[in-house]
């Protein structure tokens, strides 16, 4: 009997030691970085509604985790089994099973960046969207026609031209165009603050007028110090009911008509379009591009200058004038003579 008891004690002790050794081994492997895939990176996609067993299978098959038992142990240890988030995950270095679980629980999904520079139209943004392989240009255009996203600020909007804020956006792969467009409008609203709206109201300007004027400024110059001066020229012209005569509005009209080939000729200035500010007085019917914050600010805070004219120096900057005679001299010097010397 005594021998039997000693044997049982010995067996229990050995089992305990075995469990301890096994537990220690598992614990060590939970904290052991692993990389079982070839190449510099590996992607694992977890669709919404994917169950835990399938998640374990996908990560083992991708070579991110050594085996399913380890991932099961990591889920148990972290207590994050109910918090795993769907999405596409990118791995580019060895990770422990616990780190993998924590990554999923954070929802640290892979995102690609797309940058929309200032001054692009909806059509140009759509082409960039497709060129960067985020989706079809047609899907972007369809989403950009959802004027309901901006009716609280511009009830006259028929689309989102001018309200898709130029910026860099990080998106998980597979993000629909409608989601990106909504983010861009939200970014515009965050930039066009309550203070900005109040300033517009004090100047008897609607949001649409401010954004339209800012879009002209954006298309005319890329020089930060010139934006308030360009805005002043157009504000001065509006004040005295002088035609805007802005070349970018004609280009935009031609783009809408599908006739723009990269060149603007004198005959094009007579094109019959409400966007042609050579033929129709005042601002065009709406924005002709997406202005950035600096141009929005310039539209509401123009420089205190008397200028009514400006012409390009052909180096990205402009020379300004108060009178037509002065402007004609500038045109002769910086356009006629400049191009004559280049022949």
Q: Do residues 88 and 134 both lie within one domain?
A: no
Residue 12 belongs to some domain of the structure? no
Domain boundary among 55, 74, 109: 109
Residue 236 belongs to some domain of the structure? yes
Q: Do residues 101 and 147 both lie within one domain?
A: no
Residue 129 belongs to some domain of the structure? yes
Nearest Cα to Cα of residue 83 among 57, 100, 109, 101? 101
Residue 7 belongs to some domain of the structure? no
Q: Do residues 257 and 291 both lie within one domain?
A: yes
Q: Do residues 90 and 104 both lie within one domain?
A: yes
Domain boundary among 109, 134, 166: 109
pLDDT at 6: 42
Q: Do residues 129 and 220 both lie within one domain?
A: no
pLDDT at 18: 42
pLDDT at 27: 66
Residue 133 belongs to some domain of the structure? yes
Residue ranges making up the domain that contains 343 = 310-343
Residue 3 belongs to some domain of the structure? no
Residue 13 belongs to some domain of the structure? no
Please identify which residue in the block is written with the tokens 């300033």.
Answer: 199
Q: Do residues 47 and 103 both lie within one domain?
A: yes
CA distance 277 to 243: 7
Alpha helices in the chain (DSSP H): 2-30, 52-61, 68-78, 97-106, 122-131, 137-144, 177-191, 194-202, 207-220, 227-239, 247-257, 293-300, 324-331, 337-341
Residue 291 belongs to some domain of the structure? yes
Q: Do residues 70 and 150 both lie within one domain?
A: no
Q: Do residues 67 and 78 both lie within one domain?
A: yes
pLDDT at 19: 40
What integer best gives the mean pLDDT of the chain? 89
How many domains are contained in the chain? 4
Q: Do residues 175 and 209 both lie within one domain?
A: no
Q: Do residues 161 and 253 both lie within one domain?
A: no
Q: Which residues of the chain have pLDDT under 70?
A: 1-27, 338-339, 342-343
pLDDT at 294: 97
User: How do 42-46 and 111-115 pair as beta strands?
Assistant: unpaired
Which residues does 298 contact at the CB level (< 8 Å), separation at least 6? 214, 217, 227, 228, 230, 231
Q: What is the DSSP string of 106-148?
A: HT---EEEEE--TT--HHHHHHHHHHTTSS-HHHHHHHHT-GG
pLDDT at 29: 81
pLDDT at 343: 64
């Amino acid at each position: 009997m005594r021998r039997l008891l000693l044997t049982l004690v010995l067996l229990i002790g050995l089992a305990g030691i075995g469990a301890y050794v096994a537990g220690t081994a598992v614990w060590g492997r939970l904290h052991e970085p692993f990389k079982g895939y070839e190449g510099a990176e590996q992607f694992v996609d977890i669709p919404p509604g994917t169950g835990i067993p399938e998640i374990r299978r996908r990560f083992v098959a991708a070579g991110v985790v050594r085996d399913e038992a380890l991932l099961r142990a990591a889920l148990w240890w972290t207590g994050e089994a109910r918090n795993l988030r769907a999405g596409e995950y990118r791995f580019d270095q060895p990770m422990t099973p616990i780190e993998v679980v924590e990554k999923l629980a954070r929802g640290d999904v892979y995102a690609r960046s797309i940058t929309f520079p200032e001054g692009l139209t909806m059509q140009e943004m759509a082409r960039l969207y497709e060129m960067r392989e985020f989706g079809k240009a047609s899907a972007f255009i369809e989403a950009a026609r959802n004027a309901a996203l901006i009716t609280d600020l511009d009830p006259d909007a028929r689309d989102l031209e001018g309200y898709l804020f130029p910026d860099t956006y990080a998106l998980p792969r597979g993000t629909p165009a409608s989601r990106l467009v909504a983010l861009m409008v939200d970014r515009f609203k965050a930039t066009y603050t309550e203070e900005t709206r109040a300033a517009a109201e004090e100047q008897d300007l609607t949001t649409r007028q401010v954004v339209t004027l800012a879009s002209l400024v954006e298309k005319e110059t890329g020089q930060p110090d010139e934006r308030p001066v360009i805005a002043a020229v157009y504000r001065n012209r509006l004040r005295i009911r002088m035609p805007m005569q802005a070349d970018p509005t004609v280009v935009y009209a031609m783009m809408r008509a599908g006739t723009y080939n990269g060149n603007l000729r004198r005959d094009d200035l007579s094109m019959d379009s409400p966007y042609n500010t050579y033929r129709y007085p005042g601002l065009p019917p709406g924005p002709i591009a997406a202005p950035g914050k600096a141009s929005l600010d310039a539209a509401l805070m123009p420089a205190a200058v008397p200028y009514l004219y400006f012409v390009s120096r052909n180096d990205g900057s402009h020379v300004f004038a108060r009178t037509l005679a002065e402007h004609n001299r500038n045109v002769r010097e910086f356009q006629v003579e400049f191009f004559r010397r280049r022949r």
